[in-house]
Structure 1
């Protein structure tokens, strides 16, 4: 009895908190929302007002194609299922007490009450609160009215709140004039967490629409001829209005979408908010200038640049050539399998694969590091088969593994084409590589990528001072530090051969994609604590071959834009020099590219790498080692008995080799840490006085010169949770 009374009391307390049901949400914002940058003092980027002032859809005017599209895409049985009953409320109440989840109301009912009443508020029993509110709603309203109000509270992007405003925005129509194809398209837009470029890339839009149309056919909402007619509809969009914001329209649209996600349509439409974001206007202007500097010719492709502060994981610039397209280009996916190569490497290293492991390729054997630097797709195919794509996508970055039903023979990577990337994806994918294996997440609005978040908002305040929502950043270690730094070393050598970077005074680590007219061209790289993603491509079906300079120019455009931007953005930062001691002992070694051993004078191709001492080989390459007799410069007979190893301390490698040759011994050389005697031997193995048989190798460590062009790697300070300062400017801390 006591337990029952407690349950009743708990439910009564929740009911007393429920709001009065009132669905009259208009698309016209009462007060503007002010969006600021991260400057000190903050600069007002824009005031978001109302773009469309459409009246909400009335239940009597809900057209059948629209309600059918909603049912097909959200909850097919909503109209025929009975209303929520008290048994469901009781199950939720018990689940709340036990701390477990329970099936509650329809996603249509929950979607409406969250947008209209729940988001932006806090409750001690959120699951029970939502269920109690859903019960009251389904007891008081008809199912058709709930669907209508659900559609009225969806955000469709482009400043369109509610389906009536969306019909006007995208098609210039009233709701009752929408075709089945247009209804399916609008639902696809509203329900996609990060919708693709709707107007600029119609193929992405049509795929999302067609999935809902086929579902409508399966549910008998469309017959065969109607389905074919809808699928054949090319979608004619109305003219997009010019941006109403003064700065960064893509950024303003992104922030508006994230405010809706966090606070709900009802709260956002009331307005009266000051939003302090992570964007830094000076860096934004540098990004815009870098793009326009390279893409100023008639017929040039669209260009976009995303910049991320590695120290706190925040987006600091989001620039593109066509301002009127808003954020669309940043969320349109493109195939770019080469951008996954470093993620595959990092995952493989984490699972114990050595960068000096050898693989067979068309030209013979090659070490993994060299194959990565050269972009050998044959080796990458073998690596992904060895590690497994599901492991790579789960460990290297928090992506959902590709659906096996979508697997295709690619000839490149493990029979599975990795997920297409948006520009936002590219940024989130590389942050852990630039931040020592760490991945950020934010308590505030963020550009979502699976479970990865790129923080965009520092603080949200109401203009009347009634509330303030401060962001915190937490970090998860998804790759071990050593693996992340090994990948950075390889990416630095990959970027070192790019002509656009030859005159830069800082170390660049990055990866380019192959050039494709269908997918565009990419470069993703980082330096001195700043990461930038550059993409260029054509949204209208044009090809690189038709632009001035053709494919030859297309291959260098992303890297050139990246270099132009970084030169500006990093002008006031000192050149990065790292301290390897924070992550243990590392050394520079010269490796035979074929065997993975220390290079001999006979190795046709070598690679200089910075690796942990634990991975450094101790044997000289026997695959290409010259016979001892060939290197002997005297007429003395090579001893056939054991030789006593001499002391080599203080000698140069050449002097040491001359001594060892007379004893029938070989030498392997490793360059160690810088010191006061660069080029001189400071350690040897075996030690002086040991006995070795002829033909054996003496390994020596030579003191390195002070770092000039070669830098070692630093572990970032471990951060578990940080509160962003009111003005989140890019740190001048030198880190990668």
Structure 2
């Protein structure tokens, strides 16, 4: 034993260590055979031998080398191309449904300026908005780009971080297509551009090629479009707004933005300025004193006067949404950029003859009577209308306003005014479709009796819900049928009906019929139509009713063609969303509104009607800020709205007194006045042959009464005169009807005894029409 071994043996207690065996040599048994020592692990399995740390790390580093090699190859082969954004811009051609030209657009509104002409503080607003590290980075955001590529590959969206350099490359050298190839090209070109060009060169290119909305490319065109000044005269506040616009030009454009859009625009503006303070480009004290710079109202592009601009904008908006829906663009902003590059041929469903007819009807019935110099309120009247074919969903005509040059907002598609009582048919549709009952167990239908007392508190199973809407002119109707309540637009009845059905079910039905109910509360106040809606939206809802409950989504585009892409337009006719019985019952009830209700004078008595059957509903919103009539024949649905908008502040204002109208309501513009007159003048001239509704229902004004009216003095099974399908005409709400004694009784069989001259008991009668009410109804329906 050597000295070293002896020393180690003494340290271990005097025992000499056994010689070490190689791991590959198992111990031998006493018989000489090899066996595994006690407690030893069994040999590794085949899978464990395949996946070792060495192999995993080797594979990982191999892939990294492969990626690096591929990137080097891309870097060597991809060069900075010639800027071609301007060359790619072409005209877009818009056509009527018959193929004739409606408009040709695409003239480029861009004027490049040297960066030295843009104030330094304004330059910083763009860097603060989009890429705070712009002056220090290498032109790319590798992590953001990798995230964007991964999202594209996995189908989880296409958003990913990008620098100002990358955005400039995308805008000027490439396109908006969301593909992995395009993102890789963007990455390589951005790296090369950052190495070859100065930051000022890249920033100048970025602000001169970006799209700011209003047809403006570049900061000079944007400065003129929003502030009517040159870029060199922009303030920091104005520059911050233009920089904020780049995130969502359409949504943040103050002239057309919704309330939500304006809030988002201001939040983005604040974000830009706060970032400037953090970067020490702006004094904190000056920042606190800054106020939001409200931009000027938009101006229409040349060749877009009259209704043309409204039609083109509506078609473009629909195309943007479809490009996003089918994955050709990540955002509406990207889709807009694709369309603005041009090369599109877009055919609309607009029927040229019906379009002219609608414009003529608005002029003859309304705008020719407006005189803003004589009456200031006349300058606040904004009409809008949409006409739809219920069988195909095609938008056949649209009226967006008096002139696209004079009023930029499209009144046919705006959603910021209440549809008022034109929402009531949705409540009835929900009731019938759901098989709803009043709280005392009676099925809700056209003959159900409700208490029409003005201001009556809504009751939910014995408890008052704290909502008691007044009727128009605070008129008390007493116990009336749902049919009469619809005819006379009785608020108190439909408020109670909404609670009986369940407001969650009412709003769900509204959504199924085509109303955008996102963010709407399911509360009784909605029964008054207190939400926002557009004529386009209401036309779609009523078209679905006209189409027997099969969903109709109004479509303004017939086709959209481009050499580089295909647009697959969805079918405007969808699935059955409510039962045919429910839809047809509502249609039947709405014929009563025309024949014996609030639209009687304007529509039913129009000499051009010529026997045409019509269903429809009037609506007048709170404080008379909007007035509506949405009506339909079997082949044509049209929604007409009048909106009170201040000509100076653009705030919502009353329509009362417009055109010098003097009524019992104090000059109030009701849905049964100008909206219904416009509707009738247009429809009866555009509808074609006279037609009748094909209805699958057993209730409503268009259905023969189930009872047999008799005179009070002769109660027998034989009527003194045959019943008519048209109930007696009633006075409009502005002239409340007076109480009158019942004129009919509904005996079910001949009396067995001789009755007295006047029957001692009679079923309750409708105070407006005088017709008998549902004998089983009772006095406290809906409670």
Where on the TM-score scale, by shorter chain, does this alignment land: which range?
Answer: 0.5 to 0.7
Deviation at 1:37, TM superposition (A): 1.0
Whether the 8 Å CA contact 1:291–1:321 is kept in 2: the answer is no
Whether the 8 Å CA contact 1:302–1:322 is kept in 2: the answer is no
Residue number in structure 1 paired with 2:574? 476
Residue number in structure 1 paired with 2:402? 321
Whether the 8 Å CA contact 1:48–1:245 is kept in 2: the answer is no
Residue number in structure 1 paired with 2:669? 554
Structure 1, residues 387-430: CA drift from partner, whole Å, max 9, x if none? 327535543435243267xx9xx98337x985422344334444
Whether the 8 Å CA contact 2:591–2:615 is kept in 1: the answer is yes
Whether the 8 Å CA contact 1:156–1:186 is kept in 2: the answer is yes
Are 1:387 and 2:387 counterparts?
no
Deviation at 1:289, TM superposition (A): 0.8
The unaligned stretches of length 5 or more in structure 1 are 442-452, 611-623, 637-660, 668-694, 697-736
Residue number in structure 2 paired with 1:281? 352
Supply the distance in 1 between the matched residues of 2:303 and 2:702 (Cα, whole angstroms). Answer: 56
Whether the 8 Å CA contact 1:27–1:162 is kept in 2: the answer is no
Mark the CA change 1:395 to 1:544 in structure 2 (over 3 Å): closer, same or farther. closer
Matches within 5 A, 1:251-330: 251-256=311-316, 262=323, 264=335, 268=339, 270-294=341-365, 295-297=367-369, 298-299=371-372, 300=378, 301-319=381-399, 320-325=401-406, 328-330=409-411
Residue number in structure 2 paired with 1:613? none
Equivalent residue for 1:493, pick from 550, 567, 592: 592
Mark the CA change 1:177 to 1:60 in structure 2 (over 3 Å): closer, same or farther. closer
Residue number in structure 2 paired with 1:335? 417
Matches within 5 A, 1:612-651: 632=751, 634=753
Equivalent residue for 1:575, pick from 676, 690, 693: 690
Mark the CA change 1:102 to 1:564 in structure 2 (over 3 Å): closer, same or farther. closer
TM-score by length of 1: 0.63
Are 1:420 and 2:420 counterparts?
no
Larger CA deviation: 321-330 vs 274-283:
321-330
Mark the CA change 1:307 to 1:129 in structure 2 (over 3 Å): closer, same or farther. farther
Residue number in structure 2 paired with 1:586? 697
Deviation at 1:88, TM superposition (A): 6.2
Larger CA deviation: 257-266 vs 313-322:
257-266
**2:223 aligned counterpart, secondary structure:** helix
Supply the distance in 1 between the matched residues of 2:78 and 2:384 (Cα, whole angstroms). Answer: 44
Mark the CA change 1:226 to 1:53 in structure 2 (over 3 Å): closer, same or farther. same
Equivalent residue for 1:248, pick from 296, 308, 311: 308
Whether the 8 Å CA contact 1:517–1:543 is kept in 2: the answer is yes
Mark the CA change 1:519 to 1:95 in structure 2 (over 3 Å): closer, same or farther. same
**1:296 aligned counterpart, secondary structure:** helix
Whether the 8 Å CA contact 1:251–1:326 is kept in 2: the answer is no
Mark the CA change 1:237 to 1:135 in structure 2 (over 3 Å): closer, same or farther. same
More strand by share: 1
Whether the 8 Å CA contact 2:450–2:481 is kept in 1: the answer is yes
**1:586 aligned counterpart, secondary structure:** coil
Deviation at 1:609, TM superposition (A): 11
Supply the distance in 2 between the matched residues of 1:335 and 1:599 (Cα, whole angstroms). Answer: 44
Deviation at 1:60, TM superposition (A): 9.0
Say which one has the larger Rg: 2
Are 1:374 and 2:488 counterparts?
yes
Deviation at 1:280, TM superposition (A): 1.9
Supply the distance in 2 between the matched residues of 1:490 and 1:245 (Cα, whole angstroms). Answer: 41
Equivalent residue for 2:681, pick from 559, 564, 570: 564
Aligned length: 589
Deviation at 1:286, TM superposition (A): 0.9
Equivalent residue for 1:346, pick from 429, 433, 437: 429
Whether the 8 Å CA contact 1:46–1:247 is kept in 2: the answer is no
Residue number in structure 2 paired with 1:686? none
Equivalent residue for 1:47, pick from 104, 128, 147: 104
Deviation at 1:285, TM superposition (A): 1.0
Supply the distance in 1 between the matched residues of 2:364 and 2:261 (Cα, whole angstroms). Answer: 31
Larger CA deviation: 187-196 vs 368-377:
187-196
Are 1:436 and 2:551 counterparts?
no
Deviation at 1:561, TM superposition (A): 0.9
Whether the 8 Å CA contact 2:83–2:172 is kept in 1: the answer is no
**2:659 aligned counterpart, secondary structure:** coil
**1:380 aligned counterpart, secondary structure:** helix
Supply the distance in 2 between the matched residues of 1:628 and 1:400 (Cα, whole angstroms). Answer: 46
Matches within 5 A, 1:686-725: none
The unaligned stretches of length 5 or more in structure 2 are 1-55, 329-334, 373-377, 437-442, 454-476, 713-722, 728-742, 764-774, 777-783
Whether the 8 Å CA contact 2:416–2:533 is kept in 1: the answer is yes
Whether the 8 Å CA contact 2:348–2:559 is kept in 1: the answer is yes
Supply the distance in 2 between the matched residues of 1:76 and 1:382 (Cα, whole angstroms). Answer: 57
Deviation at 1:130, TM superposition (A): 6.0
Q: Give me the CA root mean square deviation.
A: 5.5
Deviation at 1:526, TM superposition (A): 2.3
Deviation at 1:50, TM superposition (A): 1.8
Structure 1, residues 193-227: CA drift from partner, whole Å, max 9, x if none? 86699659999986665454455577675868756
Residue number in structure 2 paired with 1:647? none
Supply the distance in 2 between the matched residues of 1:345 and 1:107 (Cα, whole angstroms). Answer: 54
Residue number in structure 2 paired with 1:230? 291
Supply the distance in 1 between the matched residues of 2:142 and 2:346 (Cα, whole angstroms). Answer: 41
Structure 1, residues 538-579: CA drift from partner, whole Å, max 9, x if none? 441675345333364732111111111112211xx2222344
Supply the distance in 2 between the matched residues of 1:344 and 1:76 (Cα, whole angstroms). Answer: 52
Whether the 8 Å CA contact 1:590–1:599 is kept in 2: the answer is no
